[in-house]
A = this chain, B = another copy of it.
Amino acid sequence: MGEMIGKQSVKFAEAPYIFEGASVVGPKEGEGPLGKLFDVIEQDPMLGSKSWEEAESLLQKETVQKLLLKSGLKKEDIRYIFAGDLLGQLIATTFGIMDYEIPFMGLYGACSTMGEGLSLAAMMVAAGYGENVIAMASSHFGSAERQFRFPLEYGNQRPFSATWTVTGCGAAIVTKRKGFARITGVTTGKIIDYGVKDAQNMGACMAPAAADVIYNHLNDFGTAPDDYDKIITGDLGYVGQAILIDLLKRKGIDISKVHMDCGIEMFDKENQDTHSGGSGCGCSATVLTSYVFKQLKKKAWKKILFIPTGALMSPISFNQGKSVPGIAHLVVIESV
């Protein structure tokens, strides 16, 4: 059960646990500063398959397998899986999880999907609809470039505001069983459009949505940035981080001391040529289930906000001259 708080939040009476997480990434992510923290680094970005899309499906398949193994659960123990990816019609997810035969709810929140999935998983478990629920999200550099931007063979030059789509998949088990952390509340985001039309500057498109959901969360719960050890966005990158901090400062809120962005953490800016940082739903999902979970496990962080951000666009909407609205979903996680 949970209680409605303020305008767009829920606070759980009996907060569900996070029991375990799993992360599988590609070689470039493995060479980054968080490399040692992921469960699996695939050395071949194709995972031995024939297409990027198939490789992304394999990332999902492997992540579920690893998650079940780490948590000592069988696929039959999982009541629901909430999952998604960036590709049209969620084909990476469909072909990735099919064989597990777990009741499935397909989600699309662009790069905010891990926040949407964790929110729903926590809501399900807290309401008694399931004992164990998986939330998962993935992205793949190759499949995302084909979907959204230029053929890789074209060798298009990337502006400095551009981010680099993470090849990776992260998943977590939300459960009634005692785990290392609890999801104590959620704040569900609205679509926010500032009219930015630059698909090579996702940070600017998404920062207003992150600012809006953080602002509403603090209002709904009556908290301040200092109440959290970290306020973690998904893939704003350097450009989006500056905008987010600035937007909140104008409302009298300073998150600069506790803000962290998964996209900034993922790659080494100097040596990996990733410009504004990492992106994709796999970015926040893998950083959460590796680095962030480890910090919570050793209680280095006691209370955090996890806020993956999504840019809502498609090749069609972009080519039709539409703007790129953003959305962000917020989850409160506390160590146990």
Residues of A within 8 A of B (CB): 1-4, 8, 10, 50-51, 53-54, 79-80, 84, 86-91, 94-95, 97-98, 101-110, 116, 119-120, 123-124, 126-131, 146-147, 188-191, 193, 312-317, 320, 322, 325, 327
Beta-carbon contact of B327 and A104 below 8 Å: yes
Residues in chain B near residue A94, CB distance under 8 A: 191, 312, 317, 325
Most buried by B among A87, A88, A97, A126: A88
A-B pairs with the 10 shortest C-beta distances? A88-B88, A127-B127, A103-B188, A89-B314, A106-B108, A94-B312, A91-B317, A8-B103, A98-B191, A108-B108
**Complex CA distance for A86 and B91, rounded to whole angstroms:** 13
Q: A53-B316, A123-B124, A312-B94 are in contact. Are A190 and B89 (CB under 8 A)?
A: no
**Complex CA distance for A271 and B260, rounded to whole angstroms:** 61
A186 CB, nearest partner CB in chain B, Å: 9
Chain B: which residue is nearest A193 at the CB level? B98
Q: A8-B103, A127-B2 are in contact. Are A108 and B95 (CB under 8 A)?
A: no
Residues in chain B near residue A315, CB distance under 8 A: 88
A204 CB, nearest partner CB in chain B, Å: 17
Most buried by B among A1, A89, A313, A317: A89
Residues in chain B near residue A313, CB distance under 8 A: 89, 91
Instruction: Give 10 pairs: A residue, B residue, CB < 8 Å, sorted on A.
Output: A1-B128, A4-B129, A51-B320, A88-B89, A88-B147, A90-B312, A91-B314, A97-B191, A103-B190, A106-B327
Residues in chain B near residue A316, CB distance under 8 A: 53, 87-88, 91, 146-147
Residues in chain B near residue A107, CB distance under 8 A: 105-108
Beta-carbon contact of B80 and A188 below 8 Å: yes
Residues in chain B near residue A191, CB distance under 8 A: 94, 97-98, 101, 104
**Complex CA distance for A8 and B104, rounded to whole angstroms:** 10
A55 CB, nearest partner CB in chain B, Å: 12
Chain B: which residue is nearest A216 at the CB level? B103
